[in-house]
Structure 1
Amino acid sequence: MEDIDSHIEEDVTAGLIEHFEAGGWTTATERFSDDGSGRIDLLVEHPAIGRIGIEIKTLHGYSGRSYADGIAQLLRYRELEFDGEPLDYWAFDPVVENRRRLGSHGGPDFKQFQDLMQAMANRLGFGYLNHFSEELVFRASHSRLAIPVADPETVSAEMLTSIDGLVTKRNEELPGKQGDAR
């Protein structure tokens, strides 16, 4: 299963690199933290936004095991430094094994599963890559907080301040964690 997962994740990563670079982002794959204890699947950076670490995981059907593994990785990595400094944001990109990305399409059960996974990531202070809207979504409900992949320059300073505030709040709510988003 792991070999199949790695091929799916490689294909997804290649597609993401294409989308991010078209939006003016720089990209790097499989970057290790300065202390060697963590590895990011995809690191993206844009001068208007900052640096974002993206964890890509293959989900098998509607099982949450791979999702939980990915979230656990993000929780462990969120305070690590890459090239001498922490990342500005972290995001999760779950891919269902039939290569449908969450947020791309699907029936009511698929939509409910997507909503649950996105809410869990957001509750922990992580963005969630939604392929349908092509955004890194930090909060989908109430006032939407999202960064468009294709046009990051459109993100206002107020939006980034709101995302920073939300991430900081979520970090402080985690047991034993404190600190701000940037």
Structure 2
Amino acid sequence: MTHWHPWRALRNRADIDIVWTRGEGSRTIWHDQGVTIEIDTTALQATRRCVAAHELIHIERGIPTNGGGVLAAREERRVDAEAARRLIPIDRLAHALAWSTNPHEAAEELWVHPHVLSVRLATLTDDERDHLAGRGAILDLFDMSAVRYYQRLLALVTTREAIEHDPMLCSRVRRQAAHRQRARNPERVGLGRG
């Protein structure tokens, strides 16, 4: 399966110029002849990829946000969410979360900026959350033992970064783990006969 890639999408857009700047940040400039995306060459390659995706989605949506305000902030959130969804398909996210020990490591594996990963985690659909929390999908995909899978999952959902990005999912996973622990050994957790 081929994943969406911003550079491939930009290659097919003759109306968009890419201009490389040094130390000036990244932005989109709308003008009569089309659109120019300025990308800072001092940014890391994964960050440039994320910027290209973000700015391309702005152009696709056709809603400039240079005015600021509440509507511009809302549009930025929508564009962030769409860029994160396109850059991080759920199967790749599941794979990165299965083995990584922290969000920065997962972001590096996914070739995105950590902010993009945090947006992706914060905007998961209910089906995607179920997929990630679901035992069979990841176990079948990665040929990993259930014990190892849950060890890695619990290590990830107890990090400050994960809790900040999706506290409900983290609480749910921890609650399910505690329930499984009580079911396996009630005496050990103080629920047995005394």
TM-score, with structure 1 as normaliser: 0.30
Which of the pair is proportionally richer in helix?
Answer: 2
Which of the pair is proportionally richer in strand?
Answer: 1
Q: Higher RCO, 1 or 2 (CA under 8 Å, sep at least 6)?
A: 1
TM-score, with structure 2 as normaliser: 0.29
Q: Select the structure of larger CA radius of gyration.
A: 2
